[in-house]
């Protein structure tokens, strides 16, 4: 078997042959008149009319030699068969094709349509033209790219050789389009908010830091899709806003976590988290039906039906029942002791009550199939949510629980500037004590609230929901996940 370098050397010689013949290996134009999808769909009409048409695509296979050559073209819309015959094309053009063309090249062929004896839709070529000469061979069809990192690094080949990979990203596009269409149908205004911020807000996460040369200041890449900015827009008089945008979190990689990914966030005035629960069920069911054609999924071994009943899980009651701990009144010593007993931590460095209680919940969560809503979390776990009207020690927040993980979060937005200021100061104290994921105190946002923000509901979901519905690790459902540079 020839090495890639040897194959490349041979193809470069073919490139020179094209040039010597006065043929551009990379012309700027194409004579294509039909996509291959159109050729397939309109085949009967094209065959009947005996019209001469140009089609184009990448050569995926070449069969035969001498007086007759069959080739398969693919242009990204469909595949189609071409036939090159000596008595139709002529000796010179057929021989030149045989000499310079390879699997992987983009070519276009002109001819008429007919069906072979086997019923194969085919274009019989009267002419052909090189559109782009490939210098490297495509991976073998049945072996392809087997190394996971190589697949991510050369995702273009992964997509080209594996139809199921291409299908993932067509579904992903439909996933976000479905969400956008849903938001617009509910009279939400799509907005764009800053990616570079002086102060991060809207989530508990470690940010990326970069330097802004023009202003000579350090800034952060945002960790939410504009939560505080969007709520300022509610103050400014927009009743319904949303953003689908990229966010960045300088945290670990796992099958569920990435450092840069796409997220939806929306904010709706004159609504609360109970209204939000109904909207969330409606949206998730719509995604299932429009993107996947079903509301029933198998995810991580769980059988999930988005169209069925959604359960409600009480955070405080679950932890009390499972571990005998009252999450609303618990000491750090009690939390640390329980975490050590459960072997969830080895030492208590950088531990606080909020993080400890959250770890206890996560140990329970992975056993819950859902779909359902987790409610009644303590105030100290959600500094931006309104206090529960029935129990001020908890907040009006829900998280979507699906296949043992959290797949979206929404809450009645805190619009009391005094309460918000106090909670920001508590979070800042945690940061000062070493918790890099605690939220920064954003006093400009507090000032905006002092002008009054209407009661509102806010919600966010990320592309992790799509990866779960595909039952794939999240990196598999991202086109180009970040990788370390290859070593030379």
Integer-rounded Cα Rg, in Å, for the chain is 29
Give the distance, in angstroms, between the CA of residue 444 and the centroid of all CA atoms in the same chain: 32
- The span from the CA of 479 to the CA of 154, in Å, is 10
CATH number, domain of 83, equals 2.40.50.140
pTM of the predicted model, to two decimals?
0.89
- Reported as a pLDDT band with limits 50, 70 and 90, residue 142 is very low
Same domain, 95 and 163: no
Q: CB-side exposure of 50: number of CA atoms within 13 Å?
A: 0
- Asked, for residue 254, whether it belongs to a domain, the answer is yes
Same domain, 172 and 225: yes
Same domain, 113 and 190: no
- Asked, for residue 340, whether it belongs to a domain, the answer is no
- The span from the CA of 295 to the CA of 436, in Å, is 39
359, two tokens: 């770890």
Give the distance, in angstroms, between the CA of residue 122 and the centroid of all CA atoms in the same chain: 37
- Asked, for residue 51, whether it belongs to a domain, the answer is yes
Same domain, 61 and 166: no
- Asked, for residue 354, whether it belongs to a domain, the answer is no
Long-range pairs of 390-395 with CB within 8 A, sequence gap ≥ 24: 393/328, 394/315, 394/316, 394/328
Over the stretch 421-480, which tens digit does the pLDDT of each residue have? 998 888 888 877 777 777 777 889 999 999 999 999 999 999 999 999 999 999 999 999
Same domain, 106 and 162: no
Over the stretch 297-310, which tens digit does the pLDDT of each residue have? 999 999 999 999 99
How many domains are contained in the chain?
2
Among 92-96, 138-142, 167-171, 181-185, the range scoring the smallest mean pLDDT is 138-142
- The residue written with tokens 């995810």 in the block is 299
Same domain, 120 and 206: no
- Asked, for residue 331, whether it belongs to a domain, the answer is no
Mean pLDDT of the chain: 92
Q: What element of type H or E holds 158?
A: helix 155-161
H helix runs in 295-331, sequence order = 315-323
Same domain, 298 and 164: yes
Same domain, 431 and 377: yes
3-state secondary structure of 72: strand
End-to-end CA distance of the chain: give it in Å, rounded.
Answer: 24
- Asked, for residue 333, whether it belongs to a domain, the answer is no
- Asked, for residue 178, whether it belongs to a domain, the answer is yes
- Reported as a pLDDT band with limits 50, 70 and 90, residue 144 is low
- The span from the CA of 261 to the CA of 266, in Å, is 17
Over the stretch 54-86, which tens digit does the pLDDT of each residue have? 999 999 999 987 799 999 999 999 999 999 999
Q: CB-side exposure of 290: number of CA atoms within 13 Å?
A: 18
Same domain, 264 and 230: yes
Which range of residues forms the domain containing residue 285?
158-310+370-477
Cis ω before 371 (30° cut-off from 0): yes
Whether 263 shows a pLDDT value over 90: the answer reads yes
């Amino acid at each position: 078997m020839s090495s890639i370098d040897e194959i490349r050397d041979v193809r470069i010689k073919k490139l020179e042959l094209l040039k010597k013949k006065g043929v551009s290996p990379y012309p700027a134009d194409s004579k294509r008149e039909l996509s291959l999808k159109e050729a397939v769909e309109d085949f009967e009409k094209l065959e009947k009319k005996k019209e001469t048409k140009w089609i184009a695509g990448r050569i995926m296979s070449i069969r035969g030699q001498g007086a007759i050559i069959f080739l398969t073209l693919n242009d990204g819309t469909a595949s189609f068969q071409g036939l090159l015959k000596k008595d139709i094309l002529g000796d010179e053009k057929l021989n030149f094709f045989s000499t310079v063309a390879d699997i992987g090249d983009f070519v276009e062929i002109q001819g008429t349509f007919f069906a072979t004896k086997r019923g194969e839709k085919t274009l019989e070529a009267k002419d052909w033209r090189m559109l782009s000469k490939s210098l490297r061979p495509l991976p073998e069809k049945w072996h392809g790219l087997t190394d996971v990192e190589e697949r991510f690094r050369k995702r273009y080949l992964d997509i080209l050789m594996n139809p199921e990979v291409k299908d993932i990203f067509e579904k992903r596009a439909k996933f976000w389009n479905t969400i956008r269409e849903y938001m617009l149908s509910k009279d939400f205004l799509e907005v764009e908010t800053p990616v570079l911020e002086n102060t991060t807000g809207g989530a508990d996460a470690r940010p990326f830091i970069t330097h802004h040369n023009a202003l000579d200041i350090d800034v952060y890449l945002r960790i939410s899709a504009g939560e505080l900015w969007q709520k300022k827009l509610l103050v400014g008089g927009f009743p319904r806003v949303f953003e689908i945008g990229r966010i960045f979190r300088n945290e670990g990689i796992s099958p569920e976590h990435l450092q840069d990914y796409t997220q939806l966030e929306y904010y709706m005035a004159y609504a609360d988290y109970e209204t939000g629960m109904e909207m969330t069920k409606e949206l998730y069911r719509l995604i299932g039906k429009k993107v996947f054609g079903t509301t029933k999924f198998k995810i991580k071994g769980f059988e999930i039906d988005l169209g069925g009943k959604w359960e409600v899980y009480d955070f405080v009651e679950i932890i009390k029942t499972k571990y005998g701990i009252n999450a609303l009144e618990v000491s750090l010593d009690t939390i640390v002791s329980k975490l050590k007993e459960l072997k969830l931590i080895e030492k208590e460095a950088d531990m606080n009550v909020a993080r400890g209680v959250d770890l206890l919940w996560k140990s329970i969560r992975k056993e819950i199939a859902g779909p359902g809503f987790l409610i009644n979390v303590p105030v100290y776990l959600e500094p931006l949510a309104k206090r529960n009207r029935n129990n001020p020690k908890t907040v009006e927040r829900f998280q979507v629980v699906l296949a043992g993980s959290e797949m979206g979060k929404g809450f009645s937005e805190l619009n009391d500037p005094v309460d918000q200021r106090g909670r920001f100061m508590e979070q800042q104290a945690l940061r000062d004590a070493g918790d890099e994921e605690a939220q920064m105190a954003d006093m400009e946002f507090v000032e905006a609230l002092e002008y009054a923000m209407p009661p509102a509901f806010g919600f966010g979901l990320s592309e992790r929901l799509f990866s779960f519905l595909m039952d794939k690790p999240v990196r598999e459902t991202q086109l180009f996940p970040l990788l370390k540079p290859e070593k030379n």
